[in-house]
Structure 1
Amino acid sequence: MKNSILSTIALTGFLAISTVTAEVPANIPYELQITLIRSTLGDALGALKNGDSSSAYANINSLLDDANDVLNIQGKSTLSAATKTKAKSALANIRKVIENLSAAPTNAERIDIAKKSLKTLNLHLKQTKPGILDIYKTEIDVKQAVNFALDALISNLESWIPGKMSVADLMEATHPS
């Protein structure tokens, strides 16, 4: 009984300390955290143009930092280690592609980087699709958000490649609205 009471007091103290020292983004509501990855990062990746200035790439890198913070916050809840690892790996790959694109001096080199990046980005796209074993809302939401951001970047990079139509363009061409 005495050990049980001491354990409870220690646990309560730990929870109080960890709540006080939590990062600032933890105060942002859950839906806004997921929206940051899904919409804000996804829209920025989808709007990136071949030949954009370095400020556009810097903005995306800042959004990637914020997305990693969200994953760290959500990783403390019901997000499994496997999902967190897959999502962080996908974001790290996006960062690598963005850094390579920003370092390329010519549009032709950016197109070449886009071609080379599509295979690994598509692999991450498959890994971040929610599956039947994903039972928690957090896991499903995080996977869908990262998947949306990856899909936006993949579609955008495909549009840079001459003669290659993105999936969205192909659907529009075959099924006009």
Structure 2
Amino acid sequence: MQTTPDCGIDDGRVQVATIPGVFRMPVGGLLAKRNIAMLNCRIGTLIVSLLASPAAAFAQENIPGHVTCDFDNGYAWTYDAGKYQAAPPKDLTFEIGSIDLEHQSASLILDGRTAASLKIVRAINANHFLEVVNEGFLNLTTIYDRDPATGKFPAVHSRHFGLFGQPVFAQYAGSCVPKP
């Protein structure tokens, strides 16, 4: 321990514990307690960041650059005469290609042709692919981490649009697989 003036305090000399290049902390008194609390907070934040980052990075990096998605379960709802009416939708299959997680972009592929650009919102254990349709309606596909039992990526697809001024939306459940 050495005796040096405390930074920012002009009240004489205090004892300071120092690890060169790492930290400098007054020892004893109210100022020391405050600095210890601040150091604990910084260490806690660092630990949480280190624990969260690898999990998020792993989840986001294990998705292939091109997937085929098949949705064979779900419901569609229409709004008519003041009520929502549900009906099972037809099966839905499409591809998502050119997946670039770093730049948060991808392409929607229908019948082998690029149909739309997608924005990616990254999450822990999932990636959300957002399509903003020309009319302003939204389609959202969430692809989760690979299921080790099946080798597939569980996925959910939602469509929010309208026909003739009436709300229409659909929610599909299915999975995606890597396309070679």
In which range does the TM-score fall when normalised by the shorter chain? under 0.3
Of Structure 1 and Structure 2, the greater strand share is in: 2
Compute the TM-score of the two structures, normalised by the length of structure 1.
0.26
Structure 1 or 2, whichever has the larger Rg, is 2
Compute the TM-score of the two structures, normalised by the length of structure 2.
0.25
